[in-house]
Amino acid sequence: MNAKNHKILTVEHPIKYCSWFFLRSTFATMQQKNQPIDNQSFLEGRVLLIDKPLQWTSFDVVKKIRILIKVSKVGHAGTLDPLATGLLIVCTGKFTKKINEYMAAEKEYSGSFTLGATTPTYDLESEPVFQSDVSQLTTAQIKAATAAFIGEIMQTPPIHSAIKKGGTPAYVLARKGKEVKMEPRKITISTFEITNIDLPRVDFRVVCTTGTYIRSLAFDFGNALGCGAYLSSLRRTRIGDFRVDNALSIDAFVSLVEQMRSNA
């Protein structure tokens, strides 16, 4: 990368991708200037693109980074459920002010629905129930059902979500067996395409506005087909201009930071 392009990766300019190249070049510059490799650059502000692993909560990622870089001011720009993987934007230091901006950006997901059953959580956090036969569904029927969900629609979030009802997360109330009424919200889905069908599994790609619950989309899609469905896998591939292809795994981020500090 030439010097002109490298400017976008400095503190004074918007950081497009905080990848292996960016971290290596940042630490190399600090070494050349005889600057200590400590938490100061993270306090000044960094946008980290992390590929969240399966079973980790979004806060698990934030906590790990806080401990590693020794900076308390760390936050993420949009929760991913533990069973989802993919792009998580993590902001440090002064750049935590940008979190709301990133949260409002368009999102892109890929994943799979399992047709012919539902679950209370709309995903694999709970056991499938109400199973039905889907062998009679055709490719044409499945693809045609996406049309009703494209554009500006009203979507009801799942009761097993972090949305607060009377100050308490809805999922806490739901787990206690209490009745929870969720209000529909306006969202926009600009792209909803079926990428592969291997019944009962259906793979998809979705581009949507913030606030969209892909779990709810799975549930509603199953209802539209008359057979039920739940979300069986999910990966966030893009947030605005940021792509998961440019993200670091947690292990890679930890290794690189530790390596650069040991070489300081």
Q: Choose between 161 and 34: higher pLDDT.
A: 161
Question: Which residues neighbour 48 within 8 Å (Cβ) at sequence distance 6 or greater?
Answer: 18, 65, 89, 90, 91, 92, 248, 253
DSSP state of 159: S
Residue 68 has pLDDT above 80, yes or no: yes
Q: How far is residue 100's CA from residue 121's CA, in Å, rounded to a whole number? A: 27
CA angle 12, 15, 18 (to 5 degrees): 130
Write out pLDDT tens, residues 36-46.
445 777 888 88
List pLDDT tens digits, range 238-250.
999 999 999 999 9
Q: Tokens for 219, please give them.
A: 């549930």
Q: How much is the pTM?
A: 0.84
Q: How confident is the model at residue 115 (pLDDT cuts 50, 70, 90)?
A: very high
**Mean pLDDT, rounded, for 73-83:** 92
SS3 130: coil
CA 82/CA 239 separation, integer angstroms:
18
* Residue 174, pLDDT above cutoff 80: no
Query: Which domains occur in the chain, in start order?
Result: 3-104+242-262 (3.30.70), 107-239 (3.30.2350.10)
Q: What is the pLDDT of residue 230?
A: 97
**% of the chain surpassing 70 pLDDT:** 84
Burial label for 84, CB within 10 Å (0-12, 13-18, 19+), is buried
pLDDT-based confidence at 222, cuts 50/70/90?
Answer: very high
Q: State the CB neighbour count (10 A cutoff) for residue 149.
A: 17
Catalytic site positions: 81
